[in-house]
Structures are given as C-alpha cells and as structure tokens.
Amino acid sequence: MSTLASPAPAAQKPSKALPAGSGARSIRLVRSTPAGVWVAGALLLFLVLAAVAPSLFLRQDPYEIDPANAFQAPGAAQLFGTDQNGRDIFSRVIAGTGQSLLLGLAATAIGLLLGGALGITAGVSGKRVDSAICRFVEILFAFPGLLLALIVIAVSGTGVVSAAVAVGIGSAPGYARMLRTQTLQVVAAPYVETALALGRPRSHILRHTIIPNVARPLFVLVTLGIGQSIVWASSLSFLGLGAQPPAAEWGAMLADGRNYLQIAWWIAAFPGLFITLAALTTTVAGHHLQRRLEAEV
Amino acid sequence: MSTQSLDSLNTAPRTTVSPGMTGRLLVRRAAGSIFVLWAALTLTFFVLHLTPGDPVTAILGGAGSSPSAETVAAVKAEYGLDQPVVLQYLTYLGNLITGDFGVSYIFKVPVTEVLGPQILPTLQLSGLALTFAWTIALAFTLLTVGRGRLLDGAGRALEVFFASLPPFWVGIMLAVVFAVILGWFPVAGDDGFASLVLPALSLALPLSGFIAQVTRSSFEEALAQPFILSARARGLSDSAVRLTHALRHAILPGLTLSAWAVGSLVSSAVVAEIIFARAGLGRSLVDAIINRDMPVTLAVVFIIAAVYIIVNLAVDLLYRVVDPRTSPTGSAA
C-alpha cells in the first residue's frame, strides 16, 4: 500500500525542491504557486486518501445491492445517486480509487522500466546498438495511441493485470525515446568525462553517475505519466478488455452506465469525473514540477 | 503557404531544394516507411501467433464447442494452420501483396469484405474530429494569446483542462447534454452528418488542447519577431497582423502534431464508435480481439499503421518543401 502514497509527495515536492531556507523564501514560494496548483494539489491529496484509506469516505458497502433504491438521482441521501442495482455510486467511485490509481502507477512503472532499459542502453552503447534500438522503437511507434496496448491485450487476454502490462508496454516507446535523449545529454556532460578521465570502471560510472542523473527528471515524467496511464487503463476497462463488472473500477463503471444514459446520466458521469480529476490533477502537478525544475537549472 | 517569407528568416547555408534532391529524398523516405510498415506487420504477426489458445477453437465457435478430430484437422488444413508458422507468414505476406487479408475466423468471409465497409466511417469520423480540433485550437490561439494576463491565463488553463479530458467521458457527457437533454443530435447511430457531430467532438476536444498548447507557444514566438513589429509599424491592424503574419508561423509545428494526431484519432476512434454505437475499424478491432479473430485483428492493425505512416511521411515531406531549413537527416516518424 505504501506505493500508493507516492503521488502525495508529488504534490508537495515543490516545497522540498528548494533548499529549506529563510521564511521569506517560503512566502515567495507560496505566492508564486498559482492557485490552480493548490486546488489540484488538494484534490490529488483527496484522491490519494481515498485510495489509501477508503473507509474515511465510504458511506455504504460499494457492492451492496438494493433493488428498491435503484436509479436514485443524486441528492442528500446518495451524493452521486444509485445505479441500476441500487448500489451507492459515491461509495463505488471511492472504492475504485485505489484500483485505478494502482493501475496507473503499475502501468507507468512497467512503461518506465521497459522504456528505461531500451533508452538508457541505447544512450550509453555504441552506434550499432543505438541505431538497432532506435529502429526497434521507431517500429513500435508505428502503432499509434492505444493500438500497441490493444495488441498486447489480444495476446495476453483481458483482465486487470493484462491491462496494466498493456498500458505499460504501450507507453514504453515514448519513455524510451525521452530517456535516450536524456542519457545522451548526461553522457556528454563534463562530470562523466571527468569520471572517465579518473579511470573509474564503466559499470561504476553507469551505476553511480549516469543512471542517477538520468533518473532525476523522471519524477516529472512519472507524475505526468500516471494521469495518462489512468486514462488508458480505464479506456481498456471501458471497452471490456480490462477490469470486468461488477468490479468497482472507474472505466468498468462508466461502461455500465453507458447503457442507462437516457434515464440515469449520473451512473456514467461520476466515475468519468473522477478519471478526469485524476488525469487533470497529476498533469497540473507534473507541469508545475517541470517549471520548478527548469527554473532551478 | 509561400516559401518566401520563410526564406527571409533563413540563416542556414542551403536555401533552396533542387527537384532532383527532393526526388531522391522522397524515394529514401518512402523506402524507410515501407520498411517500418513491413517490420510492424511482421512483429504483430509473430506476436499474435504466440497467443495462448488454439485458433481452431475460435473458428469453431468458442471454448464451448467440442469438435471431432477430423473437423479440427479439416479446419486446420482449410486455414493453412497445419503449416509451420514461418510458412504461414510467407503465405500471408504473399497474399497481402495481392490485397488478400485472409478469411475471418468468426465471419468465415474474406477480411476485405468484413472491413471494407468499416473504413469510410472511421475516416469520416477522424477527419471531422481533426477539423474540429484545429478550429477550436486556432480559436484559442487567436482569441487568447497576447490579449492580456487574464485571457492568456484562461486560455492556458482551458488548454490543459481539455488536454486531460478522457475522450470517452467527453463522449458520454456530450451525449447526455446534447442528445438526451437537449435532443439536438441522435444519441447513437450512423445516419448522416448529425450523427457524426458528437462522436467527432468527443475526440476533438482533448486533441484541441494538445494542438493549442503547441500553436500557442509558436504564436507567442512569432508575435515577438521583428517582422511583426515592422508590420505593425506599417499600420496593419492587430487582427491583420495575427491572421496574415503570425498565424502562418504558428501553424507549422501544429502540422507535425497533426500527423501524430491522425494516428491516435484512428485508434482512439474505437471509444467514440462504441459510445455512439457506430460502425468502424476501432469497433471491429475490439470485437476481433475479444473473439480472437486473428486475421481481422492483424488487418486492422495493418490499416491503422499504414494510415499513420503515410500521413507522417506526407507531413514530413510537406514540411521539407515548405521549410527548406529542415535537415534531410532528421526524422519525424
């Protein structure tokens, strides 16, 4: 469960990014942070809390069927209304937060690992390995958007784990390209030259100099990537290829609600709102971190 | 788009591209694209053949059926599945050159017959979505860039918001508001332009956010150029400067993004097709994946990859013609 908490430090990172300094400095930091970032940070914190400790917000069992209360419109009794089986949508959305965030994190981690392995290898290797990897990544880029993820699903079958792997592989080419560029920059940096001149073994330089420096901007990439991964993974569930009903997963709930659009818009609207919130807040946090990092350099 | 105004900015040594060079470039880039397409197809073919589960089960109507050994053998022979995979691959490639994508496992008719009617609806949807996306993005750029802090900030915030919208949620909300509540458009279906508007918008809104982010920054750069100042000094009105001088420079980077956008539109069309119950390639792909219809899956992947690669090639070449500074060794695929 501890991995779920990492978006929270993401929102608070700006204050840590600057050295702990005088009070004036932190006041400046508070003032220079746009209001939108504070709102996004607060919402993100809420999502993380809902993921880690859903019982804080749960008002009802998300799986409890109550046919007498089916299709209740949002109101005081049921904040987000009830679905076709009388299940409380607010509770289901909260219960689904953990799985959706975990899916996004897992997919991002898989994408980064695969992309990092390809990109960093290409960046530190000689011309032949580099161009072979570049060719391979270029071929993967021939499958735009969700297509690569759909191919993986075609092979591995439907399901949550499959969806995480599929989205991870689908995002790997992008990470590979970014990390290769990043590695090439680090390899050309004077401190690597110095380390080489000092006669350090290459594997030592790779582990202690190159990878840490390539990894630093990853924080931003991860923050931006999670939002995208959540959207992709829930798209797969929406298409019936990821989490399957009656799972309280946002994409699957949305697919469920699609059948009742004409009589009960809220069944689809609220899970979708949470997908959007997750994507939006992580994107805003990521952009903000990026600007901070750029401003520091 | 004239090359003249771009030439005036030129600082690179080569200012013109001779017809011979463009021709050679074209051949080289086209050959590269065909290689990538072939490699992508080969990769997909072999990866799909790793799929656990016997294709014969899919052909004979799912896991529930229990066919006799003779039936299985007959089906294997009919679909060429008794051959080694490499031989199957070579046969597939040979047939593909003559436009034969094989026979669908589920529909038992040639894949071309299954997919033929699906191509046009998806292209219409993607085309209209791209048009909408550009219209919205340009409206953002022209109306908000350099119009004071408030409008500028609002434009920026809206772009980020649009770019993070998941297309399937946009589709559902549009359907709720404009089809169910207002009744302006049909909730689902395939007839005519009216049924195309909401699905296209659901794909266009998120895309417009991405395009506007790119055009905004190049528009800002263009507005800061000396030629804008000289145009203003000549007494041109603000909107004339924006429309005739700055816009041209803002569109170029967006063009490259559009090549990427076409690919992602064709593949994300699947979501819009399912929400609005439309026919199309994306829907066929998802059905084929669920039913393990390998020939159809492979064909849709091939078509989408081909469209994507061709559009990329076209934009890449167009870009080189419009802006001769672009180095011939760069890659935009």
DSSP code per residue over B213-279: HHHHHHHHHHHTSHHHHHHHHTT--HHHIIIIIIHHHHHHHHHHHHHHHHHHHHHHHHHHHHHTT--
Check pLDDT > 60 for residue B13.
Answer: no
Check pLDDT > 50 for residue A275.
Answer: yes
**b/e map B16-27, b = 16+ CB within 10 Å:** eeeeeeeeebee
Residues with Cβ within 8 Å of residue B156, at least 6 apart in sequence: B144, B216
Report how far residue A198's alpha carbon sits from residue A205's, in angstroms, rounded to the nearest whole number.
Answer: 11
Which of the residue ranges A163-167, B12-16, B216-220 has the most confident prediction, judged by mean pLDDT? A163-167
Report how far residue B93's alpha carbon sits from residue B98's, in angstroms, rounded to the nearest whole number.
Answer: 9
- Chosen for mutation from B130, B160, B168, B291 (greatest number of chain A CBs closer than 10 Å) is B168
- Chosen for mutation from B47, B169, B216, B264 (greatest number of chain A CBs closer than 10 Å) is B169
The per-residue pLDDT for A30 is 63
What is the residue type of A265? Answer: W
pLDDT above 90 covers a percentage of chain B that reads 11
The per-residue pLDDT for A297 is 58
The CA dihedral of B107, B113, B117, B122, to the nearest 10 degrees, is 80
Check pLDDT > 50 for residue A18.
Answer: no
| Higher-scoring residue by pLDDT: A20, A48 | A48
B332 interfaces chain A, CB cutoff of 8 Å:
no
Which of the residue ranges A169-173, A226-230, B310-314 has the most confident prediction, judged by mean pLDDT? A169-173
Q: How confident is the model at residue A72 (pLDDT cuts 50, 70, 90)?
A: confident
Check pLDDT > 70 for residue B314.
Answer: yes
Residues of chain B in contact with residue A138, where contact means CB-CB under 8 angstroms, are 36, 331, 333
Check pLDDT > 80 for residue A21.
Answer: no
The per-residue pLDDT for A56 is 76
CB A143 within 8 A of CB B40: yes
Residues of chain B in contact with residue A273, where contact means CB-CB under 8 angstroms, are 169
Interface of A with B in 248-287 (CB under 8 A): 254, 257-258, 261-262, 265, 268-269, 272-273, 275-276, 279-280, 283-284, 287
The per-residue pLDDT for A20 is 45
CB contact under 8 A, B48 and A154: yes
pLDDT above 70 covers a percentage of chain B that reads 87
Q: How far is CA B54 from CA B140, B293, B294, in A?
A: 52, 11, 11
SS3 of chain A: CHHHHCHHHHHHHHHHHCCCCCHHHHHHHHHHCCHHHHHHHHHHHHHHHHHHCHHHCCCCCCCCCCHHHCCCCCCCCCCCCECCCCCEHHHHHHHHHHHHHHHHHHHHHHHHHHHHHHHHHHHHCCHHHHHHHHHHHHHHCCCCCCHHHHHHHHHHCCCHHHHHHHHHHHHHHHHHHHHHHHHHHHHCCHHHHHHHHCCCCHHHHHHHHHHHHHHCCHHHHHHHHHHHHHHHHHHHHHCCCCCCCCCCCHHHHHHHHHCCCCCCCHHHHHHHHHHHHHHHHHHHHHHHHHHHHHHHC
- Chosen for mutation from B159, B289, B291 (greatest number of chain A CBs closer than 10 Å) is B289
Check pLDDT > 90 for residue A167.
Answer: yes
The per-residue pLDDT for B323 is 64
The per-residue pLDDT for A111 is 93
The per-residue pLDDT for B147 is 75
pLDDT of B220-255, one tens digit each?
Answer: 777 777 777 777 778 777 777 777 777 777 777 777
- pTM of this structure: 0.80
How does DSSP classify residue B164?
A: T
The per-residue pLDDT for B136 is 92
Q: How confident is the model at residue B324 (pLDDT cuts 50, 70, 90)?
A: low
State the average pLDDT for chain B. Answer: 79
Q: How confident is the model at residue B39 (pLDDT cuts 50, 70, 90)?
A: very high
The per-residue pLDDT for B18 is 56
| Higher-scoring residue by pLDDT: A268, B325 | A268
Check pLDDT > 80 for residue B191.
Answer: no
Residues with Cβ within 8 Å of residue A10, at least 6 apart in sequence: A44, A219, A222, A223, A282, A285, A286, A289
The per-residue pLDDT for A24 is 65
pLDDT of A134-163, one tens digit each?
Answer: 999 989 988 887 888 988 988 888 888 989
Check pLDDT > 90 for residue A165.
Answer: yes
pLDDT of B270-301, one tens digit each?
Answer: 888 888 888 888 889 988 888 888 899 999 99
Other beta carbons less than 10 A from residue B200's beta carbon: 24
Check pLDDT > 80 for residue A215.
Answer: no
Check pLDDT > 60 for residue B151.
Answer: yes
CB B130 within 8 A of CB B123: no
Other beta carbons less than 10 A from residue B158's beta carbon: 16
Q: How confident is the model at residue A109 (pLDDT cuts 50, 70, 90)?
A: very high
